């Protein structure tokens, strides 16, 4: 079947099922193009909460679909490929978090959105890469903070907020493929380009950046900046959107190795099969959902 035929079938079935398609900024181009909304995990979950559609087809990784389900429990949330997980989210277990909390009984737990629903349920407040500094700054000065699971984001936020935090040794393998020497050599090749990097990158990469931004922050910055060229230190899926939204500007990946295999599992074929068979449904047990929602709501209320 040609892409055009696939797209027509998806659009027809999407209407029949009363579904909305959400795609994360790191999805492949065809998937971003067929989506009703494209964005970061939080932006998409908020979009999910506003939609009147009965079915949310979430093209991203599992923690994102779970977040949509936590925010919109009365909708059917589907993922085209149930194996699309996030290795960073799987780097901390509930048992490990409980042990950490026992060691620091007075601490408040800030969890990055890249966590499972069960981890969010054991946390006080959630954050994204776009609002992590604001979230940490909102906590009382005299309480210790446990920040999970991303050590790189945690170090960056700690530096920016001036708050020491208890960090966990999680990381994004994809963003850690970007090395400081990649930034140095890209800057030599493109001396007029501005360097934007994601805070999931290592601290030596962050030190070489002109801007440290979430994916939504990068999209906004690229649009508003007078610069014509950008070196982009994040998952390479974002380059597609940046180039599409700014056809007269140039975007160079800091490293082509920053290609998340989980994000790339979703394809047009799988989207079609997902709508045909109404798979794979994401559910969150109600007791966990309610507690996880508290951590997310606290962040949204800021
Ligand atoms: O929150 C997201 O969507 C992620 C994982 C990255 C970002 O910075 O947007
Ligand atoms: Fe997880 Fe990194 Fe892939 Fe995002 S890019 S889903 S943080 S492994």
Ligand 2 atom, smallest distance to 86 CA:
1
Q: Is the dihedral of CA 97, 296, 270, 3 positive or negative?
A: negative
User: 10 Å Cβ neighbour count for 247?
Assistant: 6
Q: How far is the CA of 214 from the centre of ligand 1 (A)?
A: 6
82 exposed, middle or buried (CB, 10 Å; 0-12, 13-18, 19+)?
middle
Please write the tens of the pLDDT for every residue from 219-254: 999 999 999 999 999 999 999 999 999 999 999 999
Percent of the chain with pLDDT over 90: 97
So what's the pLDDT on residue 1? 86
Using CA atoms, how far apart are residues 110 and 124, in angstroms rounded to an integer?
6
Q: Which atom of ligand 1 is nearest to the CA of 42?
A: 1
Among all bound ligands, the one having the nearest atom to the CA of 23 is: 1
Average pLDDT over residues 23-45: 95
Mean pLDDT to the nearest integer, 22-43: 96
Query: For a pocket test of ligand 2, which of 41, 128, 171, 173 has the largest count of ligand atoms closer than 8 A to its C-beta?
Result: 173
Task: Tell me the per-residue pLDDT of 59-107, one tens digit each, with 9 for 90 and over.
Answer: 999 999 999 999 999 999 999 999 999 999 999 999 999 999 999 999 9
- For all residues of the chain together, what is the average pLDDT? 97
Residues with CB under 6 A from ligand 1: 24, 40-42, 113-114, 128-129, 198, 214-216
Q: How remote is the CA of residue 280 from the centroid of ligand 1, in Å?
A: 22
* Average pLDDT rounded to a whole number, residues 130-139: 97
**pLDDT at res. 45:** 85
Nearest CA-CA partner of 272 in 64, 59, 41, 74: 59
pLDDT surpasses 90 at 265? yes
Distance 176 CA to ligand 2 centre (A): 10
**Substitution site in 22, 24, 170, 234 for ligand 1 pocket (most atoms within 8 Å of beta carbon):** 24
Angle between helices 41-50 and 62-71 (to 10 degrees): 40
Band of pLDDT at residue 116, cut at 50, 70 and 90 = very high
With a threshold of 0.95, does the pTM exceed it?
yes
């Amino acid at each position: 079947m040609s892409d055009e035929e696939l797209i027509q079938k998806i659009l027809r079935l999407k209407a029949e099922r009363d579904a909305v398609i959400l795609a994360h900024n790191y999805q492949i181009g065809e998937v971003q193009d067929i989506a009703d909304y494209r964005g970061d995990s939080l932006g998409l979950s908020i979009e999910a909460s506003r939609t009147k559609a009965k079915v949310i087809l979430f093209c991203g990784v599992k923690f994102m679909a779970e977040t949509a389900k936590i925010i919109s429990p009365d909708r059917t949330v589907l993922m085209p490929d149930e194996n699309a997980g996030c290795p960073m989210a799987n780097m901390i277990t509930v048992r490990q978090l409980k042990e950490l909390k026992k060691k620091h009984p007075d601490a408040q737990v800030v969890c990055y959105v890249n966590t499972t629903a069960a981890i969010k349920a054991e946390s006080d407040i959630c954050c994204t890469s776009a609002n992590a500094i604001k979230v940490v700054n909102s906590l009382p000065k005299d309480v210790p903070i446990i920040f999970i699971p991303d050590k790189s984001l945690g170090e960056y936020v700690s530096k920016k907020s001036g708050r020491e935090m208890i960090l966990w040794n999680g990381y994004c393998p994809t963003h850690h493929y970007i090395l400081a020497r990649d930034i140095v050599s890209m800057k030599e090749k493109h001396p007029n380009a501005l360097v934007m990097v994601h805070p999931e990158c290592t601290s030596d990469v962050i030190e070489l950046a002109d801007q440290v931004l979430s994916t939504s922050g990068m999209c906004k910055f690229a649009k508003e900046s007078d610069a014509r060229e950008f070196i982009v230190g994040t998952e390479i899926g974002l380059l597609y959107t940046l180039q599409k939204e700014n056809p007269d500007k140039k975007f160079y990946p800091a490293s082509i190795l920053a290609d998340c295999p989980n994000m790339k599992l979703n394809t047009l074929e799988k989207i079609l099969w997902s709508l045909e068979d109404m798979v794979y449904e994401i559910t969150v047990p109600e007791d966990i959902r309610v507690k996880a929602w508290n951590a997310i709501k606290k962040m949204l209320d800021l």
